[in-house]
Structure 1
Amino acid sequence: MTTDLGSPKISAPDPLAPAKLGPLTLRNRVIKAATFEGLTPKGLVTDQLIDFHRRPAAGGVGMTTVAYCAVAPDGRTSPGQIQWTDETMPGLRRLTDAVHAEGAAVSAQIGHAGPVAASKYIGHPALGPSRQFRMTTQNFSKPASKADIARITEGHANAARRAVEAGFDAVEIHFGHNYLISSFLSPKVNKRKDEYGGSLKNRARFALETARAVRDAVGDKIAILAKLNMDDGAPGGFWLDESIRVAKWLEADGSLDALELTAGSSLLNPMYLFKGDAPLREFAAVMPQPTKLGIQLVGKHFLKEYPYTDGYLLEDAKQFRSQLTMPLVLLGGVTNKAVMDEAMAEGFQFVAVGRALLRDPEMVNRIREDENTKSLCNHCNKCMCAIYGGTHCVLNPKPANPPVPA
């Protein structure tokens, strides 16, 4: 690209060429985004989960991200989610070995669901910064104590240590979607009066302490990313002005190798990230009562529909790129080479792809063969409703065999 004043040409990096991410060298700049797989019904790695990540690895991505690995028993959004225990480690090692055999790196998303946790099904109350009613589960979150905060911070550090032991190349700390740490960032959700509430510096304390604990735990043995909300998508929630300041503090601390920028709230506006159709009928079909009835009656007010455009988070993410020097990962509508090239030209070091790789795990290889290749995803978002029986694109054949522990 060139400037308007005719300055020397500055070439943007090729998204399909190798790139450094902290201590890692990835074979390209395309990351399979964390997409909850729904393939661990007993909380253990299954052959189906391994294949879920092996396929995009074989399809050419630089790194795939395993989601979502809870750092504590009370941090799960479903009873079958993976936790970092002795029992899960052999399966996780099998998974990382399988991805590495295809030439890709593999990251583990680590976090605590907080107020998004499935408290009725996991045997623990949902934690939050403050007491709050959650419409989708019809229960209240319990304010996290300082002991809870310390326990969960150390849980992230322990998860990172376990990730190294299991052969992961990176971890991605979940600071998005009003999961626990994201909910502390939100002035709409966080009503605390102590040092973890009130001012932005206080609300960001949990995030900064957690990122630092993870870095101190593993040093440079693996890459450390964080997924950070730019915008909760809710009036009065966490928004760009505060998010940029938090990103600057994280950059200054030096605890992260990259930030992946996201948006939306699983509590307040879950469709804000997933531009495209809002599949209300399909959501109602897989939900128990009384949630099913609630979706049928008022779902259109909670599961709002936003039009899809390629690269739909780019304009907001450029606000961060202009004020940070650390590597950034662009998420949202990365469905073809043109969007990847635009991201690189705007100064982003990596792109993250979710739904398009569910539809076509071979997308990166196909783009390498023909840069005019377009994604086959039609943004119907019905894949979001498939997580309860194994996440997949509904336009593809569903795996025939139910997941069993590997």
Structure 2
Amino acid sequence: MSTSVFDPVTLGPVRLRNRTVKAATFEGRAPEGQVTDALIDYHLAPARGGIGLTTVAYLAVAPEGRTHNEQIVVGPKTLAGLRRLTDAVHHEGAGVAAQVGHAGPVANGRSNGVHAISASRMPSPLSMQMIKSATEQDLTRVTRAYVDAARVLVEAGFDVLELHMAHSYLISSFLAPGLNRRKDRWGGPLESRARLARQVARAVREEVGDAVALTAKVSVSDGFKGGVTTEEGIAVARLLEADGHLDALQLSGGSSLMNPMYLFRGETPVSEFADAMPTIVKWGMKTPVGKSFLKRYEFEEAYFKEKALQFRKELSMPLMLLGGINRVETMQQAMADGFDFVAMGRAVLREPDLVNRLQAGTATQGICTHCNRCMPTIYTGTRCVDWTPAEVIPGP
């Protein structure tokens, strides 16, 4: 009997109503670093729309690990709001994941009021400060912060914790040879560069046990010279699988720091992005160098699939396919190809009720055009500029 994307599935200790995942996309709805009604509503829309698992994005484990200061740092002060969010999503029948991360060099140190850290020292295009090379003490502290955050998130009622190991965030910066120039035990060969990823996964699993599912977002390719290649990404994934601490991997790509459009594909809204930025960054983005930062990649359905299939061939653990998935045919083919879940971002942002309609047969594909004009809205509340909440139909 063939598997359907709409079949129920078990992820670690968690039972989900289907195999669709709302991928983490920064919501821009926590201006005071606290859960708001707007943030809850953002996740209620896809939950009511039939998604199996919705992911709360960029929950930072430490103040310097925020991308900027309008982001939630997980701790006792944010517990009550997070619990309110999970209760609301569960009421609609969906599972809820917490993307747990440390932004590393993607953090804006000036906004956060504390310098960012990375695998190696480097200038920050976001804060115009120098990013510090993480010390042994920093890495011990950050690992402990992941554990502390995991404990709070379990108490808050999350079903899944997703460890962010991609997009040039802190763990990813250690994996990328071009960002990791260290000569100590954290640099050099891939096994050494993967030490932090494995250490965090082990420490978090030891803390949460089987109370929640534990996954990681990893890269099929960073898309820049000196980034994680597909070959290295597979090698890292094999190490993580052998360690046995994770229940699944979500296969992503690109770099928020070096090549963001490698992840998104489609149109590049340079002017809109520049207009949403602070003045000095706005000026820089309108220069030839700034414009080249937002490279253009033609959109194609399931654009990471070819690389993801290489991961599928080498791994036995559950995998989530991500990257431009709009059509029910693509979703069902992913199941036939051996993937266990499909993750969607822009398609569900445009149509939060898409899964319900695909399952009911009233639609065969989403209507997102991948214009990417949603991207600059992350600073004012992430949204599709062509969608209004009135378009959402009630769930079953």
Q: What TM-score, normalized by structure 2, do the two folds share?
A: 0.96
Alpha-carbon offset, residue 371 of structure 1: 6.6
Aligned equivalent of 1:297:
287
Would you identify which runs of 4 or more consecutive aligned residues in structure 1 move more than 6 Å?
none
Q: Deviations over 1:206-249 (max 9, x none)?
A: 00000001100001100001000121100222101111111011
The number of residues matched between the two structures is: 389
Would the alpha carbon gap of residues 310 and 371 (structure 1) be closer, same or farther in structure 2, given more than 3 Å must change?
farther
Match of 2:122 among 132, 138, 144: 132
Alpha-carbon offset, residue 355 of structure 1: 0.4
Are positions 1:44 and 2:37 aligned together?
Answer: no
Are positions 1:278 and 2:288 aligned together?
Answer: no
Are positions 1:244 and 2:234 aligned together?
Answer: yes
Alpha-carbon offset, residue 85 of structure 1: 1.9
Match of 2:17 among 27, 31, 42: 27
Aligned equivalent of 1:328:
319
Alpha-carbon offset, residue 300 of structure 1: 2.4
Alpha-carbon offset, residue 138 of structure 1: 2.5
Q: What TM-score, normalized by structure 1, do the two folds share?
A: 0.94
Are positions 1:170 and 2:160 aligned together?
Answer: yes
Aligned equivalent of 1:258:
248
CA RMSD of aligned residues (A): 1.1
Match of 1:205 among 181, 192, 195: 195
Partner SS for 2:219 = strand
Aligned equivalent of 2:182:
192
Alpha-carbon offset, residue 372 of structure 1: 4.6
Aligned equivalent of 1:392:
383
Partner SS for 1:387 = helix
Partner SS for 1:192 = coil
| Separation of aligned partners in 1, 2:333 and 2:364 | 16
Match of 2:352 among 361, 364, 368: 361
Are positions 1:313 and 2:309 aligned together?
Answer: no
Alpha-carbon offset, residue 347 of structure 1: 0.4
| Separation of aligned partners in 2, 1:398 and 1:133 | 40
Partner SS for 1:392 = coil
Amino acid at match of 1:54: L
Partner SS for 2:348 = helix
Match of 1:374 among 361, 365, 370: 365
Aligned equivalent of 1:349:
340
Q: Deviations over 1:81-132 (max 9, x none)?
A: 1111222111111100000000000000001000010101111101001111
| Separation of aligned partners in 2, 1:155 and 1:136 | 24
Aligned equivalent of 2:107:
117
Aligned equivalent of 1:74:
64
Partner SS for 1:311 = coil
Aligned equivalent of 1:93:
83
| Separation of aligned partners in 2, 1:139 and 1:309 | 37
Alpha-carbon offset, residue 251 of structure 1: 0.4
Partner SS for 2:279 = coil
| Separation of aligned partners in 1, 2:291 and 2:327 | 30
Partner SS for 1:322 = helix
Partner SS for 2:150 = helix
Alpha-carbon offset, residue 188 of structure 1: 0.6
Aligned equivalent of 2:206:
216
For the Cα contact (< 8 Å) 2:329–2:364, is it kept in 1? Answer: no
Which residues of structure 2 form unaligned runs of 5+? 391-396
Amino acid at match of 1:39: R
Partner SS for 1:309 = coil
| Separation of aligned partners in 2, 1:351 and 1:53 | 17
Q: Which moved more, 1:151-160 or 1:389-398?
A: 389-398
Alpha-carbon offset, residue 398 of structure 1: 7.8
Are positions 1:56 and 2:46 aligned together?
Answer: yes
Aligned equivalent of 1:8:
none
Would the alpha carbon gap of residues 398 and 389 (structure 1) be closer, same or farther in structure 2, given more than 3 Å must change?
farther
Q: Deviations over 1:260-281 (max 9, x none)?
A: 0110011111111001001001
Partner SS for 1:237 = coil
| Separation of aligned partners in 2, 1:398 and 1:342 | 30
Partner SS for 1:149 = helix
Partner SS for 2:56 = strand
Partner SS for 1:108 = strand
Partner SS for 1:273 = helix
For the Cα contact (< 8 Å) 1:336–1:372, is it kept in 2? Answer: no
Alpha-carbon offset, residue 396 of structure 1: 1.5
Alpha-carbon offset, residue 291 of structure 1: 0.8
Which residues of structure 1 form unaligned runs of 5+? 1-10, 400-406
| Separation of aligned partners in 1, 2:282 and 2:18 | 42
